[in-house]
Amino acid sequence: MNSVLIAIIFIPILEIYLFIKIGSQIGAFTTIFLIFTTAIIGIIYARYEGLNTLKSGFSQLVKNKSPAYEIISGAAIAFASILLIIPGFATDIFGFLLIFPITRKIILGKFTRKIKDRKTTTKPYIDGEFEDIDTDDENKL
């Protein structure tokens, strides 16, 4: 099965389970308040981190360096913001992990390592053999 399809099915089931378990422990109104609070705090912090990433990207451009990490980091912050807006505790936890720079660097480091490994396995040339043909050998063709 496709991993995206599994995630579309599994994540809402996990969120409903966590709503029921946490709601039964702390109460329905507290659970709802906690969901709204994490969304608001997460969005504010995502905005702050997004601006810091944008500043870092511009400083890399000024230094005439490629802002590749900043671009990937900005995309991760945008994805984390979406996860924080979606109501749920599992998505909030993963969203907060992507927003904080330390954990984002660890998570993105694993993905960039996989991409670098994939690039090194591909060869920039085609293997083949060749043979020099003399003018006398043209009749053989």
* 69-83: pLDDT as tens digits: 888 888 888 898 889
117: pLDDT strictly greater than 80: no
73 or 117: which leads in pLDDT: 73
Q: How far apart are CA 108 and CA 113, in angstroms?
A: 8
Angle (CA) 12-18-20 rounded to 5° is 105
What does the pLDDT average to over 85-109?
89
31: pLDDT strictly greater than 60: yes
